């Protein structure tokens, strides 16, 4: 009885804070919280309890706008030098207490409202998309996808149908490409595609499945928005949430970023935060992947971030995975 009373008071306190922010005098705070909640599947209804339908629609208007990013200029990325460096340079330096192979390193990321981990993979040919055995019913957790493909690690990738946060991860949004073929979606399906071509160059942009195949993209998923294209940031508005993103430097190295959120010590990051981090790390192209309770990074059988899901790690339709070092294509 005491426990039930304590929980009720805690929930009442949270509701009070939400009310003060959503109905208080600060327009910027109202907009930030509304966007943060609306970006989630399970809590997206909360702003509707306090604000008018018109006000919510006004705040969330940015989500109805598709930003047309320019086509990726593949000449801005040179892969060969990176592969040679991976083979000859030996182990890279990284954050303390993190085991790494000769082509992977890690750095801790911190900001005003977030903390996270950047994983840098020298050789982009090691990156591929892992998927469940079939789509439609249930996806696989990142742990299971890593195990299925004997990968050394990876991050969650594309979005999926997730009504009220109860989706099973089996129905991807947009398209999924594996081994140069459409594993999900149609050639006419339009979405923000994030994936690697046959040269290991990352492409990010709004396109059809057919256009993605014409660009010789071998491994891809759909989410977005694009964060950086050809070295230029793409402006996007958002709330604060757990985030996952992927990018690529001009030398071909792949940047995998996961930011923790919904915690006292790490509330989360905005899309602007992700763009800033990626630019700081030299990304020429970068895209936002599925976030929230799906955000997770695994390396050597260990989850390196604190997953925000209260029901255990989510089942996923896709993940960007990393082949073991020196494994042949």
Nearest alpha-carbon partner for 298 in 178, 179, 145, 165: 145
Q: What are phi and psi of 144, to 5 degrees?
A: -70, -35
Q: Are 153 and 319 in contact (CB under 8 A)?
A: no
Say what the pTM is: 0.85
For CA atoms 134, 137, 142, 148, the dihedral sign is negative
Q: What is the pLDDT of residue 188?
A: 97
What whole-number percentage of the chain has pLDDT above 70? 82
Number of H helices and E strands in the chain, helices first, is 8, 17
Distance, CA of 10 to CA of 205 (rounded, Å): 43
* 93-129 pLDDT tens trace: 334 444 446 799 999 999 999 999 999 999 999 999 9
Whether residue 183 contacts residue 63, with contact meaning beta carbons closer than 8 Å, is answered with no
Give residue 300's region: left, alpha or beta (phi > 0; psi -120 to 50).
left
132-190 pLDDT, tens digit each:
999 998 999 999 999 999 999 999 999 999 887 778 889 999 999 999 999 999 999 99
């Amino acid at each position: 009885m005491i426990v039930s009373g304590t929980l009720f008071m805690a929930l009442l306190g949270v509701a009070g804070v939400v009310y003060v922010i959503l109905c208080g005098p600060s327009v910027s705070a109202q907009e930030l919280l509304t966007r943060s909640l609306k970006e989630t599947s399970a809590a997206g209804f909360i702003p509707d309890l306090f604000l008018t339908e018109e006000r919510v629609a006004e705040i969330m208007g940015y989500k109805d706008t598709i930003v047309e990013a320019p086509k990726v200029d593949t000449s801005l990325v040179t892969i060969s030098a990176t592969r040679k460096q991976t083979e000859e340079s030996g182990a890279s330096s990284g954050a303390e207490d993190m085991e790494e192979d000769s082509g992977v390193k890690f750095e801790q990321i911190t900001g005003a409202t977030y903390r996270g981990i950047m994983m840098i993979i020298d050789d982009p040919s090691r990156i591929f998309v892992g998927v469940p055995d079939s789509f439609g019913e249930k996806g696989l957790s990142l742990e299971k996808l890593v195990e299925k493909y004997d990968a050394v690690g990876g991050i969650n990738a594309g979005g999926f149908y997730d009504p009220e946060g109860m989706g099973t991860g089996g129905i991807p949004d947009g398209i999924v490409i594996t081994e140069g073929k459409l594993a999900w979606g149609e050639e006419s399906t339009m979405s923000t595609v994030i994936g690697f071509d046959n040269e290991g160059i990352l492409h990010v942009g709004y396109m059809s499945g057919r256009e993605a195949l014409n660009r010789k993209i071998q491994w891809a998923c759909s989410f977005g928005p694009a964060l950086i294209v050809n070295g230029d940031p793409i402006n996007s508005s958002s709330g604060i949430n757990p985030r996952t993103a992927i990018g690529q430097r001009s030398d071909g190295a792949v940047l995998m970023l996961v930011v923790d959120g919904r915690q006292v010590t790490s509330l989360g990051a905005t899309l602007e935060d992700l763009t800033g981090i990626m630019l700081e790390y030299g990304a020429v192209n970068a895209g936002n992947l599925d976030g929230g309770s799906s955000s997770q990074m695994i390396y050597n059988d260990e989850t390196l971030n604190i997953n925000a899901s209260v029901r255990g790690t989510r089942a996923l339709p896709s993940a960007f995975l990393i082949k073991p070092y020196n494994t042949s294509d």
